[in-house]
């Protein structure tokens, strides 16, 4: 009997596949990549048309030796690495490392690890797709060029251990630009006016919002952003007014079901609902894809391939899901046609959306076989997929206009009348309360209304929100930067390098990240240009589709990069970063301590190192006295590297602020003034004092 050898990446995947195949199939794992460019050098032969230099990864020698023994025993070898560019490249590297005979070697791919999918892939085996391999080689070489050219410059000018990356540096700039917007934001005051009415027969009042003067066409923004004087004028005009219902409108609104998950939307929803970091989401999804030991069924893959930007679903999966919905939720919930995302040139559509491999394996059925986090992620994927094949939710909406003395108030609400997909899946935006309360639904034009209270409220506009991992992934996807496989490692690198601090869910630019970003923006503007990076991603897609020769991209890219590095080397050499001497004396040897940079930012160190190893935290004074105790306001950092301003006498004094305080005091209330871009504003928002910052 002929012996067939299947090589996959992970032992978990091999264990799952083995149960589908007979004794004439042996399944082994390569444990990921087996060859790569060396870490100790650039690893690119510039004299030989930018040819990458590949070596066996350290520690993989014994594994490759065992794989070669298995290859010798086999009559046919199948390479079954992941169905993407990186997986295609791993198969190509295995061919070279194992010296496989092309005539008896085939490439197979499957989007889900199920019996049918694996057996079907064996019937549709093919040669290695060199277009996909070249696209991965181009990405790897570009990333190596950027990282190994710019990182040494950062080591020399800032500190060792820093890194620059083609996608990473752009993501850092996006975060830095958002921080600049927040810092420069000046809040503006506005007022709103609400009214509560008593309705005969009801204890609960009817709450309404001010709409505007009757007959005037005012834009909504103006109605909702009144000044205090306008509110006072409206209240005066409404004194002694009688009110009546002038209009009641009822209608129906449909809410469409969500699309199945892509990598990006899965990471976003896991961040919002499960509080998972992008890296954790991908790790757990990988486990579900490769296979979980399910009680009574053995090891099975529970979800389809996790790196995808497509919302497409196979006909078989679609039919199975609709049958499941009909049996469990009723035929009236099954959607007739399938919704898909609008055609987007960035979408490769190489895989299906992320979905459960067996829709009849509901989360409740396999809960005992999963860890808590595996269950929560699987449940999210399963519910989203089932919901995508169900009917829209239907709401009954009602809106009412109430007039008095030439002014109009409105109230609106909605009531869920047909849950549709919402009986299975609800996102934050779907969890709408039934706003159409009993008072609103019972109103008629003859209803008698009595004004209970006019409620004016002061508000201030809010700055743009800090990026979270979810919103950053969304921004990267919309801008065309990176691909599904790059989002998680990009964000993880920014956090691990301490360029970005993560507090709660928000991402904050650290002092170190600010320094690196400024160097990148000034010295390598094209590398951190959003449009340039998006265009490069498009070219890499062109390589995968066989439309662009991969070395053409490298030939056009490297000379400009090399010129920028050389120019930056010359310019930045003129800026000598010396240790700043302070007036703080070393407790051990009496020398004046100097300011050093470490992984967490600045610290004080004795210049007598290594004889004296004394260090202290460094708090930079900004020349402003604490308004509470008279101590110095100094620059401090949170544990995760985010900068703030606080009193040197902390914890005895609790004064702190995220914005830089000014030496001036507010002439209106006497409190601290804060710098906001080119303005100075009072630290008390209710004061509202604002003025131009004096030019230094």
Write out the DSSP string of 518-556. HHHHHH-TTTT-HHHHHHHHHHHHHHHTTSS-HHHHHHH
The number of beta carbons lying within 10 Å of the beta carbon of residue 114 is: 18
Closest Cα to residue 118, out of 83, 71, 153? 83
Q: From residue 391, give the alpha-carbon distance in Å to each of 265, 425, 563.
A: 21, 12, 58
Is 499 among the residues known to form the active site?
A: no
CA dist 220 and 48 (Å) reads 64
Contacts of 241 (CB under 8 A, 6+ apart): 404, 405, 407, 451
656-657 vs 615-617, strand pairing mode: unpaired
CA distances from 276 to 285, 341, 638 (A): 12, 25, 22
Q: Which one of 190, 210, 305, 395 is the catalytic residue?
A: 305
CA–chain centroid gap for 488, Å, is 8
Backbone angles phi, psi at 41, to 5 degrees: -150, 170
Interatomic CA distance for residues 299 and 302, integer angstroms: 9
Written in H, E and C, the secondary structure of 419-475 is: CHHHHCCCCHHHCCCCCCCHHHHHCCCCCCEEEEEEEEEEEECCCCCCCEHHHHHHH
* 568 contact partners, CB below 8 Å, separation of at least 6: 153, 519, 523, 524
What is the distance between the alpha carbons of residues 158 and 171, in angstroms, rounded to a whole number? 20
Helix (H, G, I), strand (E, B) or coil at 280: helix
Q: Tell me phi and psi for residue 292, to 5 degrees.
A: -125, 140
First-to-last C-alpha distance (Å) of the chain: 86
Q: What is the DSSP string of 32-60?
A: S-SEE--TTS--EEGGGTTEE--EEPTT-
Q: What is the DSSP pairing of strand 35-36 with strand 55-56? A: antiparallel
**Cα–Cα distance for residue pair 160/512, rounded to 1 Å:** 12
Number of Cβ within 10 Å of residue 315's Cβ equals 8
526 contacts: CB under 8 Å, gap ≥ 6: 532, 560, 564
Mind telling me the catalytic residues?
305
């Amino acid at each position: 009997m002929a012996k067939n050898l299947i090589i996959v990446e992970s032992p978990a995947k091999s264990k799952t596949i083995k149960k589908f195949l007979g004794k004439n199939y042996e399944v082994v794992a390569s444990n990921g990549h087996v060859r790569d460019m060396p870490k100790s050098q650039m690893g690119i032969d510039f004299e030989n048309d930018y040819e990458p230099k590949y070596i066996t990864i350290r520690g993989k020698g014994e594994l490759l030796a065992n794989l070669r023994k298995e290859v010798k025993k086999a009559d046919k070898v199948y390479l079954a690495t992941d169905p993407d560019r990186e997986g295609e490249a791993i198969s190509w590297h295995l061919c070279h490392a194992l010296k496989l005979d092309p005539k008896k070697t085939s490439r197979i791919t499957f989007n889900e690890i199920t019996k049918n999918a694996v057996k079907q892939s064996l019937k549709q085996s093919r040669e290695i797709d060199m277009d996909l391999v070249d696209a991965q080689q181009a990405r790897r070489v570009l990333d190596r060029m950027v990282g190994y050219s710019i990182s040494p410059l950062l080591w020399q000018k800032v500190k060792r251990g820093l890194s620059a990356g083609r996608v990473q540096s752009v993501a850092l700039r996006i975060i830095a630009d958002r921080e600049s917007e927040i810092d420069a934001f000046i809040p503006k005051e506005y007022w709103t006016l609400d009214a509560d009415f008593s309705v005969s027969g009801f204890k609960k009042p009817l709450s309404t919002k001010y709409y505007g003067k009757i007959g005037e066409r005012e834009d909504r923004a103006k109605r909702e952003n009144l000044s205090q004087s306008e509110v006072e004028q409206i209240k005066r005009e409404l004194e002694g007014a009688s009110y009546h219902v002038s209009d009641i409108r009822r209608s129906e609104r449909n809410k469409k079901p969500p699309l199945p998950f892509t990598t990006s939307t899965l990471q976003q929803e896991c961040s919002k609902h499960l509080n998972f970091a992008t890296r954790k989401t991908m790790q757990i999804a990988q486990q579900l894809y490769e296979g979980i030991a399910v009680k009574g069924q053995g090891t099975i893959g529970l979800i389809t391939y996790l790196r995808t930007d497509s919302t497409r679903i196979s006909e078989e999966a679609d039919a199975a899901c609709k049958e499941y919905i009909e049996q469990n939720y009723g035929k009236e919930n099954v959607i007739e046609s399938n919704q898909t995302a609008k055609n987007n040139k960035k979408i490769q559509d190489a895989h299906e959306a992320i979905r459960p491999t067996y829709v009849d394996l509901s989360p409740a059925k396999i809960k005992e076989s999963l860890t808590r986090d595996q269950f929560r992620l699987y449940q999210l994927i399963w519910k989203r997929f089932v919901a995508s094949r169900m009917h829209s939710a239907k709401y009954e909406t009602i809106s009412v206009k109430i007039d008095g003395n030439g002014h109009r108030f409105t109230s609106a609400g909605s009531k869920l009348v047909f849950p549709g997909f919402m009986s299975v899946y609800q996102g934050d935006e779907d969890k709408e309360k039934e706003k159409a309360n009993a008072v609103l639904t019972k109103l008629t034009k003859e209803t008698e209304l009595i004004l209970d209270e006019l409620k004016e409220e002061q508000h201030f506009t809010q700055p743009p929100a800090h990026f979270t991992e979810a919103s950053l992934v969304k921004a990267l996807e919309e801008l065309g930067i990176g691909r599904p496989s790059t989002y998680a490692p990009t964000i993880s690198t920014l956090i691990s390098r301490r360029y970005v601090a993560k507090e709660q869910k928000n991402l904050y630019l650290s002092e170190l990240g600010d320094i690196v970003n400024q160097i990148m923006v000034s010295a390598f503007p094209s590398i951190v240009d959003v449009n340039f990076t998006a265009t490069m991603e498009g070219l890499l897609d062109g390589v995968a589709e066989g439309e662009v020769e991969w070395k053409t991209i490298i030939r056009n890219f490297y000379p400009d990069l090399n010129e920028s590095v050389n120019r930056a080397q010359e310019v930045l050499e003129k800026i000598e970063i010396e240790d700043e001497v302070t007036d703080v004396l070393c407790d051990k040897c009496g020398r004046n301590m100097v300011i050093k940079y470490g992984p967490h930012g600045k610290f004080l160190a004795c210049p007598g190192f290594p004889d004296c190893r004394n260090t202290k935290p460094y708090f930079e004074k900004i020349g402003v006295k604490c308004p509470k105790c008279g101590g110095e306001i100094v620059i401090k950092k949170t544990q995760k590297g985010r900068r703030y301003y606080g009193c040197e006498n902390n914890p005895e004094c609790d004064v702190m602020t995220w914005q830089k305080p000014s030496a001036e005091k507010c002439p209106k209330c006497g409190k601290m003034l804060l710098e906001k871009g080119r303005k100075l504003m009072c630290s008390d928002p209710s004061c509202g004092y604002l003025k131009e910052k004096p030019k230094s």
